[in-house]
Amino acid sequence: MIAIVLGTRPEIIKMSPVIRECERTGTDYFILHTGQHYSYEMDRAFFCDLALPEPKYNLDVGSGTHAEQTSRILTGIEHVLMKEQPDIVLVQGDTNTVLAGALAAVKLHIRVGHVEAGLRSFDRTMPEEINRVVADHISDNLFAPTETARQNLLHEGIADDKISVTGNTIVDAVFQNQDIAKKKANILDTLGLEPNGYFLVTAHRQENVDSPGNLKNIIRGICAIHEEYSQPVIFPMHPRTRKMVEQFNISLSGISVIEPTGFLDFLQMEANARLILTDSGGVQEEACILGVPCVTLRNTTERPETIAVGANMLVGTRCEQIQEGAKEQLKERNPWNNPYGDGRASVSIVRVCNSLPARIKTE
């Protein structure tokens, strides 16, 4: 039995192909939602869009400091795992949900599978980097999306026989949903947007939006792009960012700020954008998969594959660099290959899980 642990928007999206694959193969599983994300547009919207089954458990942990949130998740997951005694716990990515899920399981001697293992920004000031490193080192099965990720793990002394290079489940999610998005999503019409006639922005990283200087610079850079190209800039705003924009009293004049959208609408906006500017991990990947140029509002990335193929550029958070980066990324370029796999990562992951020996249950 597989326990699928998730708690935030990207985990719901990237675990959705694994859940579908469990359903397709008749694999015994259940979903444990930590409730790290809980607002409709960060949580339920994705269960609806992706037609996912209800989680068996929801810990409703909500927001808090890192220690508060992580400790609530840790305690809640431990209770569920002691009751359910799954053979393996699957966690995905680099959130506090992942750190706590992996830690609770390994202490109960339950096998941990880390989906999207081996990513490294090499910046330990990012909370996500700490979560990734710890989760990788206490996992039994490391599902690395690329060869680069596998090499990162090997360099840290992780045994090769624990690692499977599977591709990233985001490719599965994009392939499974892009035709549905074409038929069902109508956000371009709703917002009056022309294909290739607008810029799409997301930003929510703690080090960017919790810093008044960085957030002001990012917004200035985005406003400057709006003025320079006279095209709409659409910014579906993460609740964390909205809170900080209000707290720092930052003006957003010229930018079209909207609520975070569901996955189908977001896919439609990404696929038709002229350029994407983001600090999101998943959005960097999706831009690369969809063939849309991307400017990343950070100094480092754990997605170097996107840079290597020419899809993405790191520009940091300064206004002038954001403008320069946009200019550069808008130049004509040859199409690139998607480095994240063929859309069958979830098939490989569930196959590996099903080939493991059953666990001897503890009292």
- Give the residue numbers marked as catalytic: 204
Question: CB of residue 328 vs ligand UD1: minimum separation in angstroms?
Answer: 26
Query: What's the rounded Cα separation, in Å, for the pair 54 and 60?
Result: 14
| 58 near ligand UD1 (CB under 6 A) | no
Per-residue contact flags (x/-) with ligand UD1 for residues 2 to 21, judged by CB under 6 A: ------xxx-----------
Residue (of 64, 57, 78, 75) closest to 6 by Cα position: 57
H/E element, 113: strand 111-115
- Alpha helix stretches (DSSP H) within the chain: 9-25, 44-49, 66-84, 96-107, 127-137, 147-155, 169-184, 187-191, 206-209, 212-229, 239-247, 263-272, 281-290, 304-308, 319-329, 345-354
Question: CB of residue 362 vs ligand UD1: minimum separation in angstroms?
Answer: 29
Strand partners, 92: 115
| 280 near ligand UDP (CB under 6 A) | yes
Per-residue b/e over 180-192, b at no fewer than 16 CB within 10 Å? Answer: ebeeebebbeeee
Stretch that binds ligand UDP, among 58-66, 67-75, 175-183, 281-289 (CB under 6 A): 281-289
| 36 near ligand UD1 (CB under 6 A) | yes
Q: What residues between 197 and 216 interact with ligand UD1 by CB under 6 A? A: 204
| 44 near ligand UD1 (CB under 6 A) | no
Q: Phi and psi for 142 in degrees, rounded to 5?
A: -110, 115
Residue (of 333, 22, 278) closest to 172 by Cα position: 22
| 286 near ligand UDP (CB under 6 A) | yes
Find where tokens 């850079």 sit: 221
Q: Which residue lies nearer to ligand UD1 by CB, 36 or 323?
A: 36
Question: CB of residue 353 vs ligand UD1: minimum separation in angstroms?
Answer: 24
Residue (of 21, 43, 41, 45) closest to 33 by Cα position: 43
Q: Which residue lies nearer to ligand UDP by CB, 6 or 13?
A: 13
Strand, coil or helix: what is 168? Answer: coil
Binding ligand UDP (rule: CB under 6 A), the pick from 86, 282, 293, 339 is 282
- Chosen from ligand UDP, ligand UD1, none, partner binding at 96 (C-beta under 5 to 8 Å by type): ligand UD1
Q: Which residue lies nearer to ligand UD1 by CB, 61 or 106?
A: 61
Q: Which residues are near ligand UDP by CB under 6 A? A: 9-10, 13, 202, 204, 236, 260-261, 263, 266, 280-283, 286
**Where along the sequence are the contacts to ligand UD1 (CB under 6 A)?**
8-10, 36-39, 42-43, 63, 94-96, 127-128, 204, 239-240, 243
